[in-house]
Amino acid sequence: MATEAAPVVGRAGEYEATAAELRSQIGDVEGLDTAVGLRNVRGNREAYLRLLRQFDSNHGADMSALESQLENGETDAAVRLAHTLKGAAGTLGLIGLQREGRRWRHICAATVRGMRKPPAV
């Protein structure tokens, strides 16, 4: 059983070793920066894995829900959902999804303000 070195708080890359070990367990996931996610849970690998599972369970259908909300003109709900998705993804190090959530939040917010028509989904 591998032992973990205690991270030095405040240094860049402090969770890289733990992140590398975690990637060897869960595999490379495109757009997932495990070092960011681990940093946000202070290196608690069990908590991080639990939150990743929760994210999948709670947000797995968000893009479909977002499309549905936009199709139905529910732009305020779409803005909230995109914002929530962006924040949760960023916390866990799902950088690509965070970027997409940010983009969709801006699109939805512009739609609410009447600056553009809802995108075709």
Residue 12 pLDDT > 60, yes or no?
A: no
pLDDT for res 17: 60
Q: If we measure between CA atoms, which residue out of 84, 83, 7 comes closest to residue 38?
A: 7
Q: Given the structure tokens 């529910």, which residue do they identify? A: 74
34-86 pLDDT tens trace: 888 889 999 888 899 899 999 989 998 998 998 899 889 888 899 899 999 99
pLDDT-derived band of residue 1, with 50, 70 and 90 as boundaries?
A: very low
Task: Sort 36 into a burial class: Cβ within 10 Å, 0-12 / 13-18 / 19+.
Answer: middle
pLDDT-derived band of residue 11, with 50, 70 and 90 as boundaries?
A: very low
User: In the chain, pLDDT over 70 holds for what percent of residues?
Assistant: 74
Task: Sort 40 into a burial class: Cβ within 10 Å, 0-12 / 13-18 / 19+.
Answer: middle
Mean residue pLDDT of the chain comes to 79
Displacement of CA 30 from its chain's centroid (Å)? 12
Displacement of CA 121 from its chain's centroid (Å)? 21
